[in-house]
Structure 1
Amino acid sequence: MADLYGLRTRDAAGAITLGTTITPIRSLKMMQVAGNGAFDQYVAIPEIQAESFVVVDALFDGGEYGTYSPQAWYSTGQLQLRQPRNLTWQVMILSRGGEPFAAPGSYGIRASNNNIRTQIDAVNKLLSVRYNGALNLGEQGPGSGNFIQWGDVTFPAPITTYERPLIFFNAADYMMIGNFYIRGSPGNWTGFRIQSFPSKSAHGDAALYPMAIKWFCASYMAPSTQAGEYGASVKDAAGNRLFVTTANLSLLNSQPSTNSFVTAGNPISGAGYYAAPAQMAWTGSYEDYILGNALFSNTNIGQTAQPIRANFGGFLPGRRDVLQMYCENNDGVNPVSVNGRTLFASRPMKPF
């Protein structure tokens, strides 16, 4: 038997809450990048490794049509932003836990067990599930005359991190959503809003029935513990709790097999309306949630007849092999693809 090194904790019932030989924990580094106003901006970021996940997100609440994220691509050591303007963007680098410790004086733990690495410190943080719930959106049945357009969620208590929390979506089957934004401001994120975009012309009769959507919210600040709970916790120099073994972790399950969308699927069109299609290979599992922060937010392409372009999409009926996305292009000029919308797959470590 191979040698096993590391840390294990259990709760009062004897269930393992952290086992560095079995728990696939990966680290998260958050930073900010200031846009320089260029059409394409290239930023050297040594922390981006060959197998990193990178997500670029907004740091502001501009409402349903004023919150957007730039298109972004990444490669080892480099981030590319398209039309970042002069705004500051949140960049999240998610990895497999192979980074060295931070500068002397950092706080945390690290364990290496054969090919499984676990690192929890004040720089490389973990995502903990804070809240979860369900939404019923879209057409409520053929001929019902009842269409639920918006899903509104208010968190039980604000998320107090500077960065926006991450919101993940899944569905029982069909899902087409967009115009996503998180309400609040740095240090006081209070909830989110999402709009439904079903299309019978492109997706058949599934668009006539309710979309049963599940969501969860995750952030790098761990939830508080209750008296009598068992386990271990890690804090930073300021006393902020970074990790606690009683938390439900958001596992960074997988990156889709490609990080680029390609033109595929049926467009959605009508009088004065057009939405261009795109697809990306997905994991094939109904258990995997999609990160919605950048994927379902809008694109701002500048001073045109239609500067704000909605990105929307999700799952086609009965399929999990692809993500189907759309980008609105009503004016017929300056076409934009959803290519460059950063995302990854996640699922909670413990069932809800």
Structure 2
Amino acid sequence: MADLYGLRTRDASGVTTLDTTITSVRSLKMMQVAGNGAFDQYISIPEIQAQSFVVVDALYDGGENTSSPQAWYSTGQLQLRQPYTQTWQVMILSMGGEPFAAPGSYGIRASNNNIRTQIDSINQVLTVRYNGRFNIGFQGPGSRNQIQWADVNFVAPITTYERPMVFLNADDYMMVGNFSVKGSPGNWTGFRLKAWNNQSGHGEAALYPMMINWFCASYMVPDAAPGQYGASVRDAAGNRTFITTANLALLNGQPASNSFVVAGDPLTGGAWYAPSNQMPWTGSYQDYVLANALFSVTNIGQTTQPFRANFGGFLPGNRSVLQMYCDNGSGINPLTANGRTLFASRPMKPL
């Protein structure tokens, strides 16, 4: 067995709250960029390093037409496709391979057989804020009842400037799109999404309810409840950047914004079709997928169908691939799922 070392803390009941031999804590950096109206905009961002990954997200609630631009990234550079002149949130996440350090910063870093943990006074960690479960889609063979929309309200608003990250999982089959977060910067109140279950493409499973679990996470680190204890880190201004009593959102695997390939059968119906795109997934039913950019629509500009739905999720009985479709109802300007920034996550502690 390989040597293991690092930091471990437990709560009053003996439950492990941090273990650097199993827990991957990722630092997080936030910034906003403004679109310049170009079809492809290239933005120099030195903070994007070789082992970084990036999520580009919207900062507004446009209902089911809340769009996020396709985005690709490489060391030092971000590419946005059709960003228009809106302001977009850019989240640079670290796998722990780069320092992201500044003069005067402090914290800890541990490496255990390629499991890297970094907790510092500059970059905050993703923490689970709320979670729940809902039923969406058709309600069984022969049923006329279909729950087409899920409309979820958080227990209390999330007051971060950027939208919280919403992660979705399902007991088995999941096919959703038209995702949006309700509210505005500093007052995010919930989220919406639409069922896209398709019997002709996915068989009998598409006729039954999709039982979907969700959690949302943000960079705001909550205060510990009375009586709790553990390790805590604050920045120079006194803002807490980490606490072991929080439930961390673990980020699994190295994502990429160009991993989808044209694979699988397209969905068709009359003149309508939606090309099929797939990328390798984790194989685990414990892993959630980030919904923010992946399941939001794409705005392709001034056409008769400017907003194109990106919808997808998990095929019946299969977690080896992430399945995506791109609505091409007009028969022109086909899209791909590449550039839809995402990653897999699971909560460190049971929800």
What TM-score range do you get, normalising by the shorter chain? Answer: over 0.9
| Contact 1:131/1:218, CA 8 A, preserved across alignment | yes
Separation in 1, partners of 2:49, 2:286: 27
User: Equivalent residues in 2 for 1:19-30 (5 A)?
Assistant: 19-30=19-30
Identify the residue that residue 85 of structure 1 maps to in structure 2: 84
Separation in 2, partners of 1:269, 1:307: 20
Separation in 1, partners of 2:115, 2:265: 42
Shift of residue 5, structure 1, vs aligned partner: 6.3
User: Equivalent residues in 2 for 1:250-261 (5 A)?
Assistant: 250-256=249-255, 259-261=258-260
Shift of residue 141, structure 1, vs aligned partner: 0.3
| Contact 1:258/1:280, CA 8 A, preserved across alignment | no
The letter for the 2-side match of 1:39 is F
Once the two structures are superposed, what CA deviation does each residue of 1:56-84 show, in whole Å capped at 9, x if it has no partner?
A: 1111111112x100001112222111011
| Contact 2:257/2:339, CA 8 A, preserved across alignment | no
Once the two structures are superposed, what CA deviation does each residue of 1:172-225 show, in whole Å capped at 9, x if it has no partner?
A: 111000000000111111100011000011111110001011111001111221
When structure 1 is superposed on structure 2, of 45-54 and 152-161 the one drifting more is: 45-54
Once the two structures are superposed, what CA deviation does each residue of 1:77-113 show, in whole Å capped at 9, x if it has no partner?
A: 221110111111111111222333543344x522334
Identify the residue that residue 112 of structure 1 maps to in structure 2: 110
| Contact 1:167/1:216, CA 8 A, preserved across alignment | yes
Separation in 2, partners of 1:95, 1:304: 38
Identify the residue that residue 63 of structure 2 maps to in structure 1: 63
Identify the residue that residue 17 of structure 2 maps to in structure 1: 17
| Contact 1:221/1:240, CA 8 A, preserved across alignment | no
User: Equivalent residues in 2 for 1:236-251 (5 A)?
Assistant: 236-251=235-250
Identify the residue that residue 282 of structure 1 maps to in structure 2: 281
When structure 1 is superposed on structure 2, of 255-264 and 185-194 the one drifting more is: 255-264
| Contact 1:164/1:182, CA 8 A, preserved across alignment | yes
Identify the residue that residue 299 of structure 1 maps to in structure 2: 298
When structure 1 is superposed on structure 2, of 78-87 and 236-245 the one drifting more is: 236-245
User: Equivalent residues in 2 for 1:95-110 (5 A)?
Assistant: 95-100=94-99, 102-106=101-105, 108-110=106-108
| Contact 1:257/1:282, CA 8 A, preserved across alignment | no
Identify the residue that residue 208 of structure 1 maps to in structure 2: 207
Please state whether the residue corresponding to 1:12 is helix, strand or coil: coil
Separation in 2, partners of 1:3, 1:144: 57
Please state whether the residue corresponding to 1:340 is helix, strand or coil: coil
The letter for the 2-side match of 1:160 is T
Shift of residue 117, structure 1, vs aligned partner: 3.6
Once the two structures are superposed, what CA deviation does each residue of 1:246-301 show, in whole Å capped at 9, x if it has no partner?
A: 11100011135884211122222224532222111111111111001000000001
Separation in 2, partners of 1:133, 1:73: 31
The letter for the 1-side match of 2:53 is F
Closer, same or farther in 2 for the Cα pair 1:138/1:22, shift >3 Å? Answer: closer
Shift of residue 228, structure 1, vs aligned partner: 0.7
Separation in 2, partners of 1:313, 1:22: 30
Please state whether the residue corresponding to 1:184 is helix, strand or coil: strand
Closer, same or farther in 2 for the Cα pair 1:155/1:237, shift >3 Å? Answer: farther
| Contact 1:5/1:111, CA 8 A, preserved across alignment | no
TM-score by length of 2: 0.94
Closer, same or farther in 2 for the Cα pair 1:4/1:205, shift >3 Å? Answer: closer
Shift of residue 29, structure 1, vs aligned partner: 1.4
| Contact 1:221/1:243, CA 8 A, preserved across alignment | no
Once the two structures are superposed, what CA deviation does each residue of 1:300-352 show, in whole Å capped at 9, x if it has no partner?
A: 01001100001000011111111111111111112222221111111111122
Separation in 2, partners of 1:257, 1:73: 8
Separation in 1, partners of 2:2, 2:336: 48
Identify the residue that residue 39 of structure 1 maps to in structure 2: 39
| Contact 2:73/2:257, CA 8 A, preserved across alignment | no
Identify the residue that residue 343 of structure 1 maps to in structure 2: 342
Separation in 2, partners of 1:4, 1:260: 33
Closer, same or farther in 2 for the Cα pair 1:101/1:196, shift >3 Å? Answer: closer
Separation in 2, partners of 1:153, 1:285: 25
Separation in 2, partners of 1:347, 1:20: 16
Shift of residue 122, structure 1, vs aligned partner: 4.5
Separation in 2, partners of 1:176, 1:271: 21
The letter for the 2-side match of 1:276 is P
Q: Percent identity?
A: 73
Shift of residue 236, structure 1, vs aligned partner: 3.2
Please state whether the residue corresponding to 1:64 is helix, strand or coil: helix
Separation in 2, partners of 1:239, 1:215: 31
| Contact 1:134/1:212, CA 8 A, preserved across alignment | yes
| Contact 2:257/2:338, CA 8 A, preserved across alignment | no
Shift of residue 37, structure 1, vs aligned partner: 1.1
Q: Which runs of 5 or more structure 2 residues have no equivalent in the other structure?
A: none
User: Number of residue pairs matched?
Assistant: 350
Please state whether the residue corresponding to 1:202 is helix, strand or coil: helix
